[in-house]
Amino acid sequence: MTEPSSDDAASTPPTCYRHPGRESHIRCARCDRAICPDCMVSAAVGFQCPECVDEGRKTTREARNLAGGAIHGDPMLVTKILIGINVALFMVQVATDDRVTSRFAMQGLAVALEGEWWRLMTSAFLHTGITHIALNMLALWLIGGAVEPRLGRWRYLTVYLLSALGGSVLSYAVDSPFQASVGASGAVFGLFGALFVLMRRLRFEVGGLISIMVINVVIGFIPGLNINWRAHLGGLIVGTVLTAVMVYTPQSRRLAASVVASVVVLVGCVGVTVWRTDQINSCLDGSQNPNTCLDDITIVGASAVVGGVATGAAVEASR
């Protein structure tokens, strides 16, 4: 038996290290092993083998947004879904001749006496007309499109929903129990607050944003428009505080701080709701004049009296 000469070995074509039967003249840019077309992974320079690519992914830090969340392919997915839900529910409102509105709008008496606590949230997805929903959805598209990519989907959704809840709770706490209101403006104002915090964090000029916010606040006080500025204020406070925690807390504690802040806001909203519910029920337990008592606990507006029974505002407020 004779051994192959060194010249014969040198002339043997290289084969893929993962597929020995396949001839290959391309080598991995990192480990210099021969790789066949099926094993080639395009790299910044040349090609790499699958093992080197996997190893590189383990050592490469994943890109994160300002709040520490993952960066997704569609940066406005949640915003689009929220707009779709609002539009779909508005169509249901119209189709049911506002029976859905009366069943799910925010009204303090229904929350206190009937235990219909869901109205605190469902009211934020209902609207009074075409103009109302068009303006709110336009604002959601513009502001949400700037906030969602920087907070990430779950943080953004948390800020939106808790801002909506915070707006309803503040309205519940200070309005007449008979005042009805609907609209997404509480949540949108929460996003205004979030955008303000993000712009400050990024050291952007905020003068223009402040002007827009002031104009919207002033509009809420114009007589005859029936705008529930209490919901705006509640949403603005919640959105600003939550976002500040999410982006100013040190990176190592940011996730935990965001969760704790969200839970604290939720518990606070529940606490205020329970307190206000007890307050309203105490006025109607027969131990005192309900009309006088309800007027005393109403900070904004006043309850009307018809036939000796407090009826409250007859006009539905938008927000």
Contact 180, 105 (CB under 8 A): yes
CA distance 254 to 66: 11
Q: Averaged over 131-144, what is the pLDDT?
A: 96
Q: CB neighbours (10 Å) of residue 278?
A: 10
- Would residue 25 show up in a list of annotated catalytic residues for this protein? no
The residue among 254 and 5 whose pLDDT is bigger is 254
Q: What is the mean pLDDT of residues 40-60?
A: 79
What is the average per-residue pLDDT within 104-116? Answer: 93
Residue with the bigger pLDDT between 82 and 310: it is 82
Assign 4 a pLDDT band (cuts: 50, 70, 90): low
User: Which range has highest mean pLDDT (145-149, 261-265, 281-285, 309-313)?
Assistant: 261-265
Please check whether residue 16 is in contact with residue 39, taking contact to mean a CB–CB distance below 8 angstroms: yes
Q: Record the pTM.
A: 0.76
Question: Average pLDDT for residues 244-266, to the nearest whole number?
Answer: 94
What rounded mean pLDDT belongs to the chain?
86
Per annotation, catalytic residue among 127, 176, 181, 232: 232
**Catalytic position from the list 163, 181, 185, 303:** 185
Residue 11 has pLDDT above 70, yes or no: no
Q: Which of 170-179, 296-305, 309-318 has the highest mean pLDDT?
A: 170-179
Q: Is 232 a catalytic residue?
A: yes
Extract long-range pairs of 275-284: CB within 8 Å, 24+ residues apart. 275/173, 276/108, 276/112, 276/172, 276/173, 277/111, 277/112, 280/108, 280/109, 280/112, 280/113, 280/177, 281/112, 281/113, 284/113
User: In angstroms, how far is the first alpha carbon of the chain from the final one?
Assistant: 94
